[in-house]
């Protein structure tokens, strides 16, 4: 049997749920309220999700790449309603590398497991190797990352503690670093899980029939070793299962989930979990371009010791994803969604926010009882071209297909060249800002195309503005079509600049949030006091 462990929600989680009451998303809730759910269960960029059950609770983690804090940890009691409860990685090592933006690098597909009373998260950094962080409580504290196996191009680790007590780890290779790909290797591992004992044995080569084989997850059931592995590419692939009675093979293979005639492209890469009542489920992602890799839940069963995922709509023996389905047979829990809106009334930054590099204390300050977040104007780099290499971007994920964000802040401007911006960030980006120019305040809208390759910023709009307090608004419509507007009173908004089609960043979806910058260095730079940030349905 797959190893799941009895337990209860820790007091820390129960306390978190009681004390940090959160608003339910106004723009995407997967729970239909009638005993069914709709996919995706998370319409947000939780890429490469992995999930483990511990007793009656489920915990998810996901890739975070260069965004910090990293390795998000989400909690659920019914696999449909999820709450973001912590991060396992508050600063990303090596610090001298990740103190600067490293788009597309950093934390790739992680794996979360529970073993002998501890939570283990293995994650790969394709440039440095395979790391492990552990905790006795999913709320943390999580240990400093341990480098389990050094090596360039080693990705997507997943451990297995076998019935005889021996430990193993499967991983894949990133062709961009290793020069080989679509290969799975199984290595012996120390029983405490902190180091690999050999360089491993190749157990499967998907190069011919299953290109871009990666993201393996290791399980054991009914005497079979199973490796669940996606293949065929992030946006176009399928879910492959390989199995063997011997850990080193030979492994038989079977495709068990594909797009078929549905609209869900590339349904693959994720986690098998069971419920206390004996149901099986599969959680995976769908690459949705600017919206990132959003999370789906599929019913799962077994036939002849092969998993059957989704529903076989076309009768070819391969499952296809469901758009709606009966909820898992689990106790009814409260409707929950990861936090989105923020009133900035807490003494710490909300978990929905991430920076684009390891943060510095001077970038911003929560104020708690003061009711705002202070974002300081940090000097632009001497070789500034655009925001791509700017680390102090305070951003969060797109939460739905369509939504509206309104924010209010006060600009504490001191000198010319100081600017506070509200940005939709990706490889192309656009922002609306308030900037001091020639001792006067200006509303600006700026666009940048191909930022990763040093694309230049282009000003689309400029208009004088007399007030220090301003309201900015972003509307995102189907297809990630974005429009910006501004207001002095929060009632009457003026549209500014042209519509903008959001695009992904490097392996992440588009994100929305803030920056605060200035030209040159001064010993008393300006700042912005962000009063609130609210995500709502688009006004008709």
What average pLDDT score do residues 193-222 get? 97
230 phi and psi, to 5 degrees?
-75, 155
**pLDDT value of residue 22:** 58
Rg (CA), the chain: 23
Q: Pseudo-torsion of CA 259, 260, 264, 270, nearest 10°?
A: -30
**pLDDT value of residue 14:** 34
- Confidence check: pLDDT of 4 > 60: no
**pLDDT value of residue 492:** 97
**pLDDT value of residue 288:** 98
Mean of all residue pLDDT scores within the chain: 95
Residue 521 pLDDT class (50, 70, 90 cuts): confident
Q: Which helix (H) or strand (E) holds 13?
A: helix 11-19
**pLDDT value of residue 164:** 96
- Quote the CA–CA distance of 179 and 153 in Å, as a whole number: 8
- Quote the CA–CA distance of 183 and 174 in Å, as a whole number: 9
The answer to whether 194 and 148 have CB atoms below 8 angstroms apart is yes
- Confidence check: pLDDT of 117 > 90: yes
**pLDDT value of residue 522:** 86
The answer to whether 518 and 377 have CB atoms below 8 angstroms apart is yes
The CATH 2.60.120.200 domain(s) of the chain lie at 353-536
Q: How many residues can be counted in the chain? A: 540
**pLDDT value of residue 504:** 98
Across 19-33, 69-83, 162-176, 355-369, least confident range: 19-33
107 phi and psi, to 5 degrees?
-80, 110
- Quote the CA–CA distance of 503 and 432 in Å, as a whole number: 17
In this structure, the number of other CB atoms found within 10 A of the CB of residue 368 comes to 12
Residue 332 pLDDT class (50, 70, 90 cuts): confident
Across 193-197, 316-320, 331-335, 472-476, least confident range: 331-335
Beta bridge partners, 146, equal 132
**pLDDT value of residue 333:** 81
427 flagged as catalytic: no
Pairing of strands 146-150, 129-135: antiparallel
Q: Which of 143, 147, 100, 95 is nearest to 124 (CA)?
A: 147
- Confidence check: pLDDT of 159 > 90: yes
**pLDDT value of residue 7:** 34
- Quote the CA–CA distance of 296 and 82 in Å, as a whole number: 12
- Confidence check: pLDDT of 219 > 60: yes
List pLDDT tens digits, range 52-100.
999 999 999 999 999 999 999 999 999 999 999 999 999 999 999 999 9
- Confidence check: pLDDT of 9 > 70: no
- Confidence check: pLDDT of 214 > 90: yes
Residues 6 or more apart in contact with residue 335 via CB below 8 angstroms: 24, 29, 31, 33, 81
The CATH 2.115.10.20 domain(s) of the chain lie at 47-326
CATH topology for the 353-536 domain: Jelly Rolls (2.60.120)
Cis peptide before 69 (omega within 30 of 0): yes
The answer to whether 402 and 536 have CB atoms below 8 angstroms apart is no
Name the catalytic one among 48, 287, 419, 457.
Answer: 48
Q: Report in angstroms the alpha-carbon separations of 132 from 111, 174, 198, 230, 435.
A: 10, 19, 17, 22, 44
214 flagged as catalytic: yes
Q: Which helix (H) or strand (E) holds 514?
A: strand 511-518
- Confidence check: pLDDT of 315 > 70: yes
Beta strands in 426-493 (DSSP E): 429-437, 440-448, 457-464, 469-477, 481-487
What average pLDDT score do residues 224-231 get? 98
- Confidence check: pLDDT of 8 > 60: no
**pLDDT value of residue 1:** 36
**pLDDT value of residue 17:** 36
List pLDDT tens digits, range 27-65.
999 999 999 999 999 999 999 999 999 999 999 999 999
Name the catalytic one among 50, 83, 125, 214.
Answer: 214
Cis peptide before 113 (omega within 30 of 0): no
| String of DSSP letters for 45-75 | ---S-EEEEETTEEEEE---BT-BSEEEEEE
CATH 2.115.10.20 fits 47-326, yes or no: yes
- Confidence check: pLDDT of 12 > 50: no
Residue of 16 and 496 predicted with greater confidence? 496
List pLDDT tens digits, range 368-390.
889 999 999 999 999 999 999 99
The answer to whether 46 and 32 have CB atoms below 8 angstroms apart is no
List pLDDT tens digits, range 242-259.
999 999 999 999 999 999
275 phi and psi, to 5 degrees?
-110, 165
Percentage of the chain beyond pLDDT 90 is 93
Pairing of strands 511-518, 378-379: parallel
What average pLDDT score do residues 328-347 get? 95
**pLDDT value of residue 539:** 79
Beta bridge partners, 287, equal 293
- Confidence check: pLDDT of 16 > 50: no
Residue 13 pLDDT class (50, 70, 90 cuts): very low
What average pLDDT score do residues 209-237 get? 98
């Amino acid at each position: 049997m797959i190893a799941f462990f009895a337990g209860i929600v820790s007091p820390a989680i129960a306390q978190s749920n009681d004390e940090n009451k959160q608003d339910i998303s106004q723009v995407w809730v997967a729970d239909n309220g009638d005993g069914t759910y709709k996919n995706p269960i998370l319409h947000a960029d939780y890429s490469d999700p992995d999930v483990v059950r511990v007793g009656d609770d489920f915990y998810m983690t996901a890739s975070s790449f260069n965004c910090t804090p990293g390795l998000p940890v989400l909690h659920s009691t019914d696999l449909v309603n999820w709450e973001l409860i912590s991060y396992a990685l508050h600063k990303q090592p090596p610090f001298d590398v990740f103190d600067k933006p490293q788009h597309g690098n950093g934390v790739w597909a992680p794996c979360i497991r529970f073993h002998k009373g501890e939570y283990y998260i293995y994650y790969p950094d394709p440039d440095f190797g395979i790391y492990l962080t552990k905790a006795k409580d999913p709320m943390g504290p999580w240990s400093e990352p341990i480098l389990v196996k050094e090596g360039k191009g080693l990705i997507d680790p997943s451990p297995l503690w076998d019935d005889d007590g021996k430990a193993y780890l499967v991983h894949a290779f990133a062709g961009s670093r290793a020069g080989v790909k679509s290969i799975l290797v199984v290595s012996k591992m120390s029983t405490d899980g902190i180091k690999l004992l050999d360089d491993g044995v190749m157990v499967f080569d998907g190069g011919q029939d299953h290109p871009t084989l990666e993201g393996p997850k290791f399980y054991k059931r009914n005497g079979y070793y199973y490796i669940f592995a996606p293949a065929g590419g992030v946006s176009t692939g399928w879910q492959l299962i390989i199995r063997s009675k011997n850990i080193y093979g030979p492994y038989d293979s079977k495709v068990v989930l594909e797009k078929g005639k549905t609209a869900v492209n590339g349904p693959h890469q994720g986690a098998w979990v069971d419920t206390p009542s004996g149901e099986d489920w599969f959680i995976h992602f769908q690459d949705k371009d600017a919206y990132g890799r959003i999370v789906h839940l599929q019913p799962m069963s077994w036939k002849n010791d092969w998993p059957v995922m989704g529903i076989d709509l076309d009768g070819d023996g391969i499952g296809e994803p469901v758009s709606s389905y009966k909820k898992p047979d689990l106790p009814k829990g409260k409707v929950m969604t990861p936090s989105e809106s923020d009133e900035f009334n807490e003494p710490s930054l909300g978990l929905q926010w991430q920076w684009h590099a390891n943060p510095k204390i001077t970038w911003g300050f929560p104020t708690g009882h003061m009711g705002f977040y202070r974002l300081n104007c940090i000097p632009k780099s001497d070789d500034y071209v655009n925001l791509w290499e700017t680390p102090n971007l305070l951003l969060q994920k797109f939460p739905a297909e369509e939504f509206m964000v309104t924010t209010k802040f006060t600009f504490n401007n001191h000198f010319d060249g100081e600017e506070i911006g509200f940005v939709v960030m990706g490889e192309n980006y656009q922002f609306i800002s308030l900037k001091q120019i020639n001792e006067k305040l200006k509303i600006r809208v700026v666009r940048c195309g191909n930022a990763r390759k040093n694309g230049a910023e282009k000003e689309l709009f400029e208009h004088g503005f007399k007030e220090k307090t301003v309201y900015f608004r972003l509307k995102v419509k189907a297809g990630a079509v974005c429009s910006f507007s501004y207001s002095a009173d929060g009632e009457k908004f003026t549209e500014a600049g042209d519509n903008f089609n959001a695009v992904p960043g490097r392996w992440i979806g588009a994100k929305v949030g803030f920056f605060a910058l200035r030209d040159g260095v001064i010993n008393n730079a300006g700042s912005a006091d962000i009063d609130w940030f609210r995500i709502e349905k688009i006004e008709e």
